[in-house]
Amino acid sequence: MLAGGDLLQPAFREFDAATRLYRESTSTGTTSRALLGVIGELAQITGWIASDAGRFQEAARIYRLGISAAQEAGDGTLESNLLGSLAYQITNIGDPNEGVTLACAAVEALGPHASARARALAWDRLAWAHVTVGEAEAAIRALGEAEAALGEGNDEEEPAYLYWVNAHELRIMEARAYTELRRPLRAVPLLTDVLGRYDATHARELALYLSWLAVALVDANEPGEAARAASRMLDLSKDVASDRTARRQRVVLDRLAPYRDLPQVRELFERSR
């Protein structure tokens, strides 16, 4: 499966072409709003790719352009999705408090008739933002809101770009949240279940989820098992051009460093060199 580094230049070209077309267009009304919607959706895709490739400033710039386009088009769901994506990046590599503010704005941007998946995604990202500032109770409440929102779904019409938001993805976020909150007894069973069901061809995602499993196992005082999970993570990510997986590798190795006297951990560090 391709990662951000593999897709960067084609994505930039498509996004630049769409924004240039809008600037040079004389269309108004419905056509103009449709083009703004396309720009917003391309901003979502291109911002994600840039962020995954480690081009964070460019990703933030593109996300903000997309937010402006969505606002001008009057598309609250798209605006929420872009705000949530920007919040997610900032909570991970910037100021987590700003991330909370943006994630709250993503929830508020949704109108009363937003689809179940849109609401679930906004609440899920708010949960993660609360996790990054150590607000455990607020994070768990937001996870509950996400699950409740998804459970209210029916045959309502919703944007195609929300196809991936499902109960499985909510469990992944729940597991990651409990890992970061240092609650391994909750995190390890969730992650083990998730990894047992996940498509093995999705190397980038599997590597990321294994990184959280490794950290949770360290917190559960199981460094040998953590090293085995980390070894599999290294195998999966070695050919993945993703800054995010590289960052997670460093996190896992840092957490395992105190156990380097164990043979499994020592072998892992030798491999990582």
Query: What pLDDT digit, counting tens, does each position of 5-20 carry?
Result: 568 888 999 999 999 9
What is the per-residue pLDDT for 2? Answer: 47
Per the structure, the count of domains in the chain is: 1
Q: Domain limits at 271? A: 183-273
Position 73 in a domain: no
Position 188 in a domain: yes
Position 242 in a domain: yes
SS (H, E, C) the chain: CCCHHHHHHHHHHHHHHHHHHHHHCCCCHHHHHHHHHHHHHHHHHHHHHHHHCCCHHHHHHHHHHHHHHHHHHCCHHHHHHHHHHHHHHHHHHCCHHHHHHHHHHHHHHCCCCCCHHHHHHHHHHHHHHHHHCCCHHHHHHHHHHHHHHHHCCCCCCCCHHHCCCCHHHHHHHHHHHHHHCCCHHHHHHHHHHHHHHCCCCCHHHHHHHHHHHHHHHHHCCCHHHHHHHHHHHHHHHCCCCCHHHHHHHHHHHHHHHHHCCCHHHHHHHHHHC
Position 222 in a domain: yes
pLDDT (tens digit, 9 = 90+) per residue, 42-91? 999 999 999 999 999 999 999 999 999 999 999 999 999 999 999 999 99
Position 45 in a domain: no
What is the per-residue pLDDT for 112? Answer: 78
**142-169 average pLDDT score:** 90
Position 39 in a domain: no
Position 158 in a domain: no
Position 211 in a domain: yes
